[in-house]
Structure 1
Amino acid sequence: MPVPIAATKLLRSLILAGVALTALPAVAQQAPAASPAALRPDQAAFRDLYRELVETDTSITTGSCTALADKVEVRLRKAGFGDGDITRFAVAGHEKEGGLVVVLPGTSKTLKPLLLLGHLDVVVAKREDWTRDPYTLIEENGYFFGRGTSDMKPLDAIWIDMLGTFKRDKVKLGRTIKLALTCGEETSWAFNGVRWLAENKPDLIAAEFALNEGGGGRTDGKGTVVQQNFHVGEKVVANYRIEATNPGGHSSVPIRDNAIYELSDALGRLRDYDFPLMLNDTTRAYFGRLGASRKDEIGQAMRTIVTAPAGSAEAKAAEVTLNTDRSFHSMLRTTCVATLLDGGHANNALPQRAGANVNCRIFPGVSFETVQKTLQDVIADPKLTVTKVDDRGPLPIPPKLTPQILGPAEKLVAKYYPGVPLVPMMSTGATDGIYLEAIGIPSYGPPGLYGDPDGNGAHGLNERAIVKAVYTGRDFLTELVKAYAQ
């Protein structure tokens, strides 16, 4: 699933799509952060943990989550956790995709545990495409650069640091706190640690609720935090293959009936298509509350989109305005986008086959079959096939945002970000929270961290996180977990 973090994933909720960032106008506008030498001892230790996480490649192609889990276990054992507190897991054939669960017992006999969830894996990063080495933590102009600096190793580091500190300092908490660090969130086809735990070790991770990625806040692009989000629910992910086939032939006698051209025409029609606008309780609350805090054109459009009759001229005008922001555009509908291409079999032959993977983020309540039918209608070419390849299932179950969950977060947002609204938000990305919700554990993405409106390069080039956000988020989330644990 979205905030720096994600969204989500951690901030994937607002910032899922990656952006190539060779020039960073926002960087110059960021207030300088404290140099590593000026950090408090506890912050310096945290930074070293964060560095180790970022500098350990955990991508599915060249990395290993198991290797990073080994390093995390060493740190937690030094903090005082023993064999009875740490459970390692991996399955045959996926030895590099292992994870761990750590349990810090509480003092209460009645309070149910709190589960902290984090995925260790990251999206693949190619050194030749990046301005900097993606697997070296580099601090420049108020930002940390590196793969995973935003999605979601800041939150992983905060969870690990927090449990280590609680254990080392013998902090007494009412609730038992569990930490699950897993692999497979960034792939729909590989081993998924949370799914495996939910299906095979549900008692190990059993909890009253979970804190996951997907929440966090957003700046105005100039360093000022303008909102904090509480991730409540998410879209569901499915991949479809669009394929054109043809008898082919010799390239010296070309014809218009060409599989690559037909696929290209189909993808052009998909590019120009917008799925219809949809709203649910979470997005209505999101646009209504955030709109009330803004006095600009976007704020007016937010208020209008939840108050104007559906299909009215006012609603349509508000939609046009909101669609100028990529995050809001995605939050208002199902989206489908081409992500992979293949085609042809020889450089001197007409293509016999051409295909594309289309990645869809489906609005809650819309079926896989409905999206498949829509893709067929948009392509409008019976010679092409549309097939669902996979989905992340199970379908998400939106949790309820109760006063017990919302209250402590509201108090801390007022403390750390005075005047900044806290709004419930549906993630436009995807998290592993769906597997927890399927076994009765509501999953939330808390506020605390924050990122820029351009997405901070999550899933894309030159991924970055705001230095100040990482340190502030650490303090915020430590207080929040303490409040929940009491």
Structure 2
Amino acid sequence: MTPAETEVAELCSELIRVDTSNYGDGSGPGERAAAEIVMARLAEVGAEATYVESAPGRGNVVTRIEGSDPGLPALLVHGHLDVVPANAADWTVDPFAGEIRDGYIWGRGAVDMKDMDAMMLAVLRQMATEGRKPRRDVVFAWVADEEAGGEYGAKYLTAKHPELFDGVDHAISEVGGYSLEVDPSLRLYLIETAQKGLAWMRLVAGGTAGHGSMLNSDNAVTEVAKAVARLGSHEWPLNLTPTVRRFLSEVADAFGLPFDPEDPAPIIEAIGPLARFVGATLRHTTNPTMLAAGYKANVIPGQASAVVDGRFLPGLEEEFLSTVDGLLGPDVRREYITHDIALETTFDGELVESMIAALKAEDPTARAVPYCMSGGTDNKTFFADLNIRGFGFVPLRLPAEMDFAAMFHGVDERVPVDALRFGTRVLDRLLTNY
């Protein structure tokens, strides 16, 4: 095994053992301790890095490795150090012990995304030790706060320190590059090229306050409830974006299924648990999540509100909002809690070709296919503002029986050690040849 393959599992465990839970309200431990581990492991091999603390405890690490051809645009490889919280009582193992058992590394962040953090670190350390250069400059970034919107991570870095990303035109990061085994002779590797937009909306209705025993035809709770019911029960039509259409076509071909754009359900069913990743990318979604009104059983409040999690397809935001406004009705207004763009890039170019070549060199059964995420990552949210074209690519060759989608934010999150070793080999090839 290469040095990177040898140490990647322990690096991943070491990072998991640092609790970097992000509660979204500033009450978590922060990422400083994990960032200090990254800094220390880089220093051991003589790699200089920049530590940026955006707020007390919110640590970010960025380093640039010089390429053999400085005339080429640089590549950004980034991962986040924070994780979502975990309730230890629900887990088979301590979620922050980084235990290696039965060929897996267990713990919060094992797939989201301290696996990639460790792969980045292992490959960089090996290249530095061997004195090897990548083909082009590579900027490695381990960032804070992705799980709560990136305020203290990618947003801060791109706004306050854009010089760290000078010359970068492409990026790779999370939620892509993982395998779906069709049969022993064919594995699909899903590379993320698109992400839905985000519209977290607060719906507000005003009305006439009064006694609960009296007639009231201007009830704010009633108006909000009707709007929530209309949005929550609305059947958004199928709308296949270019990325989704190509993904469905590729999967249909791989499984020997007909591709009917009017009825893609059999294709989605064929990919099993991964349908949770892509099923919501066939249409817009509006899911009510919160309700608030009143303070006493016999008092009709003068205002009521609700929260709806809206996700819209790339290129179709205006259509989405127009429909939402029509469903709300004239007596309910909406305001954004969080709004973020949708993004879609094409599945072509030298980086895509290099990702495909690196995968096939390590797995001859590999076929790379583009797909759209129903969520979002730092690739879209902030690095796109610097005109950096982002892809989801964390290369993992997974066991056919593994429910990979359940690992994200799930109980007993874990990643196969062999998958990490595979990932270091693919990542090393990519950086060397791209």
Under a length normalisation based on structure 2, what TM-score does the superposition of the two structures give?
A: 0.83
Q: Contact between 1:345 and 1:352, CA under 8 Å: does it hold in 2?
A: no
The structure showing larger relative contact order (alpha-carbon pairs under 8 Å, at least 6 residues apart) is 1
Distance 1:323 1:354 in 2: 38
Aligned equivalent of 1:371: 320
1:77 to 12, 30, 43: 43
**Aligned 8 A contact 1:278 1:333 in 2:** yes
Instruction: Give the conservation status (yes or no) of the 8 Å contact 1:97–1:191.
Output: no
**Residues 109-158 of structure 1: per-residue CA shift (max 9 Å, x gap):** 32232221111122233345545433232445554332211111111111
- Distance change (3 Å), C-alpha of 1:416 and 1:269: farther
3-state SS of 2:14 partner? helix
Which amino acid letter does the alignment assign opposite residue 304 of structure 1? Answer: D
**1:275 and 2:223 matched:** no
Partner of residue 248, structure 2: 287
Instruction: Indicate conservation of the 8 Å contact 2:9/2:417, yes or no.
Output: no
Change in CA separation of 1:343 and 1:167 when aligned onto 2, cut-off 3 Å: farther
**1:411 corresponds to 2:411:** no
Name 2:389's counterpart in structure 1.
442
Q: Residues 63, 225 of structure 1: CA spacing in aligned structure 2 closer, same or farther, 3 A cutoff?
A: farther
Matched-pair identity in %: 27
Alignment partner, residue 114 of structure 2: 153
Within the candidate set 336, 339, 355, 1:388 is matched to 336
TM-score, normalised to structure 1's length?
0.75
More strand by share: 2
SS in 2 for 1:329: helix
CA drift at 1:240: 0.7
Contact 1:220 1:453 in 2 (8 A): no
Q: Aligned pair count?
A: 420
Displacement of 1:473: 1.9
Contact residue 205 and residue 305 of structure 2 kept, 8 A = yes
Distance 1:405 1:49 in 2: 27
Larger displacement relative to structure 2 (250-259 or 131-140): 250-259
Go from structure 1 to structure 2 and tell me whether the alpha carbon gap of 1:293 and 1:225 turns closer, same or farther (over 3 Å shift).
closer
Retained in 2: the 8 A contact 1:336–1:360? yes
Q: Report the more deviating stretch, 273-282 or 129-138.
A: 129-138
| Shift, 1:433, TM fit | 1.4
CA RMSD after TM alignment: 3.3
Q: Return closer, same or farther for 1:323/1:254 CA change in 2, 3 Å cut-off.
A: farther
Paired AA for residue 371 in structure 2: M
- 1:183-232 Cα distance to aligned partner (Å, 9 max, x none): 232223x6142233323322311224222223122436999984102222
Give the alignment partner of residue 478 of structure 1, picking from 419, 428, 433: 428
Which of 123, 128, 138 is matched with 1:167 structurally? Answer: 128
Q: Contact 1:242–1:387 (CA<8 Å) still a contact in 2?
A: yes
Aligned residue for 2:188, secondary structure, equals strand
**Candidates 130, 134, 153, aligned match of 1:193:** 153
How has the CA–CA distance of structure 1 residues 222 and 69 changed in structure 2, closer, same or farther, with 3 Å as cutoff?
farther
Per-residue CA deviation, residues 12-63 of structure 1 (Å, 9 max, x unaligned), is xxxxxxxxxxxxxxxxxxxxxxxxxxx9875453222111222222233323
For 1:246 and 1:222, how far apart are their aligned partners in 2? 60
Name which of 235, 239, 257 aligns with 2:196.
235
Residue ranges of structure 2 left out of the alignment (5+ in a row): 270-274
Q: What is the DSSP-based 3-state SS (H/G/I as helix, E as strand, rest coil) of the residue aligned with 1:229?
A: strand
Residue 67 of structure 1 aligns with which residue? 33
